[in-house]
């Protein structure tokens, strides 16, 4: 009976030892995965910091507040020019129609005399 309990105890120890080895291997794999994730995250953070610095540099150089004012002025100028252009075309059309009418009247008058 003592032999059976020793064999059972020996089997349990081997099973426990095998289980511990498997757990250790899995823990080592997890540690490696965490390191890899940490390294990847650090690389991404460094990349994002570089991008952020370049964007901040661009914003400092371009001064967006001034650019927005300039764009607003340009939009207003385009609107004013478009309106002025339409008025000038309308006036030119009316003058052209009047000149054509007067020319046709003069031609009719010259036909009467000839």
Q: What is the pLDDT of residues 79-93, one digit of tens each?
A: 999 999 999 999 999
Residues 84 and 114 reside in one and the same domain: yes
Total domains in the chain come to 2
Query: Which domain, by its residues, includes 40?
Result: 1-62
Average pLDDT over residues 63-88: 94
**Each residue's pLDDT tens digit, 21-46:** 888 888 888 888 888 777 777 788 88
Residues 33 and 89 reside in one and the same domain: no
Q: Which helix (H) or strand (E) holds 32?
A: helix 2-62
Q: What pLDDT was estimated at residue 51?
A: 93
Average pLDDT over residues 65-75: 94
Residues 3 and 37 reside in one and the same domain: yes
Which tokens in the block code for residue 109?
Answer: 């008058």
Residues 56 and 76 reside in one and the same domain: no
> Is this model's pTM higher than 0.85 or not?
no
| Burial class, 79, CB count within 10 angstroms (exposed 0-12 / middle 13-18 / buried 19+) | exposed
Cα 91 from Cα 25, distance rounded (Å): 90
- How long is the chain? 114
Residues 22 and 32 reside in one and the same domain: yes
């Amino acid at each position: 009976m003592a032999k059976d309990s020793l064999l059972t105890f020996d089997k349990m120890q081997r099973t426990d030892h095998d289980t511990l080895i498997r757990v250790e291997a899995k823990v080592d794999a997890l540690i490696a995965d965490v390191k890899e994730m940490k390294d990847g995250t650090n690389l991404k953070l460094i990349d994002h910091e570089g991008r952020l610095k370049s964007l901040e540099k661009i914003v400092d150089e371009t001064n967006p507040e001034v650019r927005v004012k300039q764009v607003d002025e340009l939009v207003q100028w385009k609107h004013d020019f478009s309106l002025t252009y339409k008025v000038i075309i309308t006036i030119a059309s009316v003058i052209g129609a009047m000149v054509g009418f007067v020319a046709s009247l003069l031609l009719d008058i010259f036909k009467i005399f000839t």
